[in-house]
A and B are shown apart, each in its own frame.
Chain A
């Protein structure tokens, strides 16, 4: 009885309400501080990078080979290597990833094998990049005798980005309405004909968007390529897929780990070029998504 009486006493209720309001304000204020700090970190990263490196970027920097003298050094082999590795990675990962997604989404029956594959994919997505580097070192560099080549690097990055590509492709395939499949099948098309001629073309923009994003994630990651033995000092351009190579993040790492501030400026400049490349890829992905995104009216 006393308890109930206390509950309805107006003063106590009012005090409680007031406390509640203050708690809510505190929560919101704390969150805004956190968001402010997060955005500040992002701005600080970009500010530091551009103030250090922007003035270092010029034609000489883009077309020179690395050098012991920081002012003569450049990133020619690094950006050529990056694009080379990226193109080869895409050529390997795209068909495999899309194939796996089509199988899981369109053909697989719900059995233990499908469950196993799905669990595997979620787990592979969480494995550290450097472990993929060890896999690449052992399997591609040693067992398949590819050496520390562009091809070995591309295979490693392809295996690493496969889980992400598969998940994105499956989502794109799932977004294609069933009526499309039913219409094709009703006209006598086989299952593969249905997928190849109708489902896949409609899902392609989504698949490409996901693939480009996965690749841009992979190419910014230096760890697996360092582990398979990509070089840090390359005074030539890779001509064939079997040549040694370097990439922008490795070149930047090499420069940032030296003591001289002049090399740090070079690292910043190399990272700006890398960011520009990633920005370009992301823009293409966003353009594809907006240009071809289907609005299904059913």
Chain B
């Protein structure tokens, strides 16, 4: 009788625990839904007052001024300008360093260099902003006198080193995962090491490396404090890296710092901007994850 009751209790305990564990696992789905709903509700409120067509086609962004203009273009342009500068540096750096670490470096060099690169990912973004504003910008101004105190170039360059660890370590994993048989086949045909690396290994790893770059780019457009501090807060529609720009993230932070009443149109703008940012980064993330998955599946088949 007693053991029967104990078994029953154990049985019930088991059920409750599994239910609780299931609930914690579901939180990730709830989070995604909550992001979609919380951004969506305020964004819908925003688009009731400002038609989508104005949001997409106007060329000025002045929602906090007396004459309000609601064109997202300057913010998107500023975001892509800074992230683009970052990628011009980070992609070649990331791929070269990953190739070197995976194919050439000795075990000792690898163990020495990898933590140094990883440390770059652990530095707080406010510190990167401090460095960009007070070190890189004055340094660049010595060479480019027309560079303004806030500009896209300096945070772009610094941002490159912030996303470098993402691109380098994801690419390195991918290059490492290319089957040895591909290298052996190339070498057996008489190719040199360099030819093997650049004409056999890297093309085989291409989809995975592109995935790493897409994930790095997605990280670059979402970076906030660095660009808020060093790129400036004036939304100007320009592709000139020497000028002050405002990114989507910087706009959200700037408005959040001010005292914007809940429910006002100004309050809703940050959700409309946030939704735009969310959708852009979602596209890059999903495409990156898809390519990564495809790479892994291709080589699983090869064994």
Listed in ascending order, the chain A residues whose CB lies under 8 Å from chain B are 20, 23-24, 27-28, 30-31, 34-35, 37-39, 41-42, 44-45, 48-49, 52, 95-100, 102-104, 107-108, 116-117, 119-124, 126-135, 137-139, 142, 159, 162-163, 166, 190-193, 216-217, 220-223, 226-229, 232, 249, 252-253, 256-257, 264, 267-268, 271, 274-275, 278, 282
Given A44-B131, A135-B34; 9 other pairs, CB 8 A cutoff: A34-B97, A103-B21, A119-B289, A121-B28, A126-B215, A133-B256, A222-B224, A223-B224, A278-B124
Query: B299 on the interface (CB 8 Å rule)?
Result: no
> Which one of A45, A127, A159, A268 contacts B222 once the chains associate, using CB atoms below 8 Å?
A127
- Across the two chains, which residue of chain A brings its CB closest to B224? A223
Contacting residues, chain A, for B291 (C-beta < 8 A): none
Stretch at the interface among B46-54, B59-67, B235-243, B271-279: B271-279
User: A108 — which chain B residues lie within 8 A by C-beta?
Assistant: 25
Enumerate chain A residues within 8 angstroms of B158, measured Cβ to Cβ.
41
Q: Which residues of A contact B221 (CB under 8 A)?
A: 128
What residues of B have a CB within 8 angstroms of the CB of A123 in the complex?
32, 282, 285-286, 289
Q: A253 contacts B229, CB within 8 Å?
A: yes
CB under 8 Å from chain A, chain B span 186-201: 192-195
With A100-B25, A130-B253, A131-B277 given, is the CB distance from A124 to B32 under 8 Å?
A: yes
The count of chain B contact residues (Cβ–Cβ below 8 Å) is: 84
Q: Does B42 contact A (CB under 8 A)?
A: yes
In the complex the two chains form, what is the Cα distance from A191 to B13 in whole Å? Answer: 11
Task: Name B's A-contacting residues (CB within 8 A).
Answer: 10-11, 13-14, 17-18, 20-29, 31-32, 34-35, 38-39, 41-42, 92-93, 96-97, 99-100, 104, 113, 116-117, 119-120, 122-131, 133-135, 158, 161, 164, 192-195, 215, 218-219, 221-225, 228-229, 249, 252-253, 256-257, 262, 270-271, 274, 277-278, 281-282, 284-286, 288-289
